[in-house]
Amino acid sequence: MSTYETMIQVIDPIGLHARPASLIVKAVKESGLTVMIGRQGEKLTKANSPLMLMALKIKTGETLTVSVESDDEESAANLVAQIRDFLQG
């Protein structure tokens, strides 16, 4: 199992609000992978709860660290691409 870490900037004008948070958790659950998300340089939160993601109060323009545990680089990359898309707004 390896860990893939990526930086994603939040473009959505309302920040990481309820809708992207729900979409991210849904995608993570469907992938079956373990994903941690948080502010760059801060403690990461497990992305299995929309409420915990919302409670980070991430705003537009902030950069997130997204860390995916996976055996397979391609499925990790796919999931990251989806998450990036949800944060475009």
- Applying CB under 8 A, the residues found at the interface with other proteins are 13-15, 17-19, 22, 25-26, 48-52, 54-55, 57, 59-62
The helix/strand/coil state of 82 is helix
CB closer to other proteins, 29 vs 85? 29
Is 17 marked active-site?
Answer: yes
Which of 8, 17, 33, 50 is flagged as catalytic?
A: 17
CB 13 within 8 A of CB 69: no
Shortest Å, Cβ 14 to other proteins: 5
**Least separation in angstroms between CB 85 and other proteins:** 18
DSSP states of 16-68: S-HHHHHHHHHHHHHHT-EEEEEETTS--EETT-HHHHHHT---TT-EEEEEE
Identify residue 35 by its one-letter amino acid code. V
Shortest Å, Cβ 21 to other proteins: 8
The residues assigned a catalytic role are 17
